[in-house]
Structure 1
């Protein structure tokens, strides 16, 4: 096969976006602006408030995040307030609201300190600069840059991948999704665009699609709508929380907040009824749990003398 033939085959296999991209873009933006789910972080361009919402949403359904987000910002309304807070209080808030892994609270606390100490209280504005903040990866940095400063690239989450895969035949490949999403996004409109395309995936193009029910604006271009084949890339499932290490990490933090410090076996009996020092869920299991928490900077383990004592890191 000649190089020219190979190029033809590659072009044949490659997904192609519609020629009338401007119509595709405007139809989605109009659909979003006409009616969308109301979340309070969509009503602000405060990068701190948006960062808090992004970190909270990583592990929690959006409807459940609203109350926690509002309470968090009421308690620590600025990076200056959060930076001077007791870390144990921040982690305790996280645990109390079941917001996922506690190290995210620790990172958020440290990011606030960075903004105050390294940026004089002014948030960095670009995705690259935002990634310098503790715990802020490419996705979160891009989301904050988009929603706070309107200067991000296309946000690519599970919803966006599903939309691109179904509508335009983008292959199940991260690089392909990113390329297609950025080509679709109108220049200089990352704030409204990223909100709109994630809304499309979250409301219309769900795992069980609701195309006609919610008036999906892309039906005339959508391959899946035309064929009736609504398969989509596999979506990772959230591990069961009940009985998980994540659940018991939270119980350790909550118990140590109440008792300040506890000897190993006392702590074990307080966090699970089937704790037995020499059993499957005994000292070795608990020491592993505490080691993980210590590595995250959340717990201090004192092995001085005959007893092992655990306390929250201050």
Structure 2
């Protein structure tokens, strides 16, 4: 099947000659792109750390945390040997979001050490068997570490394909078009480039001319001025959320080692009242969630519930 007939069968309106689209994007990316440090390495450990940290966190905020993390645990073997409480504490101190990510990253490092003899799987299927590594992250690590991934499809990529080529707002359609457009054997540069396009040119408010978008001559949105895009899920408000107080519990237990609920409560919430709305039952639910996630251990001792970080 020719390239032209192959693209004719794709959802949306992909150009008949995809090579022009491919070449334009790669040349644009290679001429100038944001120089994040994880783009300068092909170490799968360093790349996995960056991918996990980048989940729902702005990339500019990730840089310092990524560098600090690698200073402390420079190799996957160092992370595997670390106490989980230290890794979770680092995550909390650097405001990197859900502490489960730290737990999963730590467990993945132990899998590499214990199950793989320190050797990394090199393809998305193998990488997806690591704890907390879903299809997107597996593809990203396979691409950026081993140049052996499939097309990465995140919110930015969906927005680009929807606007540029009228791809329907359907996950299967996005996957099909993204995979068809990626040049064979070039997943590293292609996935970096298409995500960069979504990050600097085709944002929610596009900057087509300012960013010199390389796809303007083919782009439906640029031609029509209609820059609508699929809905983007919004992150729940952090202030006052259970996620915020879970983080405070971890930070406090890191400082005090262990605390009874009535000693822990006032340290994470100024309006804590043992019998109130935000009292023992509310706090017991928080530490129970953390215990289910294997981050905290909860004991009943002398009629009191005592929480401590799991080590």
Mark yes or no: TM-score above 0.5: yes
Deviations 1:159-193 (A, max 9, x none): 00000000000111111100010011000000000
Quote the offset at 1:12 in angstroms.
10
Aligned pair partner of 1:72 in 43, 52, 69: 69
Q: CA deviation at 1:14?
A: 4.1
Change in 2 beyond 3 A, CA 1:14/1:91: closer
2:172 pairs, out of 171, 175, 179, with: 175
Indicate which of 30, 35, 57 corresponds to 1:60: 57
What displacement does 1:13 show? 10
1:156 is paired with a residue of what secondary structure?
coil
Aligned position for 1:161:
158
Distance in structure 2 (CA, Å) of the matches to 1:136 and 1:295: 19
Q: Please state whether the residue corresponding to 1:136 is helix, strand or coil.
A: coil
> What is aligned with 1:7?
none
Aligned length: 304
* Deviation sequence 1:179-212 (CA, Å, 0-9, x none): 0100110000000000000000000001001001
1:149 paired residue among 146, 149, 171: 146
Unaligned runs of 5+ in 1: 1-10
Residue 217 (str. 1) matches residue 175 (str. 2): no
> Where in structure 2 are there 5+ consecutive unaligned residues?
1-7
Is 2:250 the counterpart of 1:282?
A: no
Q: Which runs of 4+ in 1 moved over 6 A?
A: none
Query: How much does 1:237 deviate?
Result: 1.0
SS in 2 for 1:308: strand
1:97 maps to 2:127? no
CA distance in 2, matches of 1:99, 1:13: 38
> Residue deviations 1:68-123, cap 9 Å, x none?
00010011011110011111111000000000001110111111011011111111
Query: SS where residue 303 of structure 2 aligns?
Result: coil
- Residue matched to 2:259: 262
Q: Select 1:110's aligned residue among 93, 107, 110.
A: 107
- RMSD, aligned CA: 1.2
Cα deviations by residue, 1:134-168 (Å, 9 ceiling, x for unpaired) = 11111101100000000100000000000000000
Q: Specify which of 275, 285, 290 is matched with residue 293 of structure 1.
A: 290
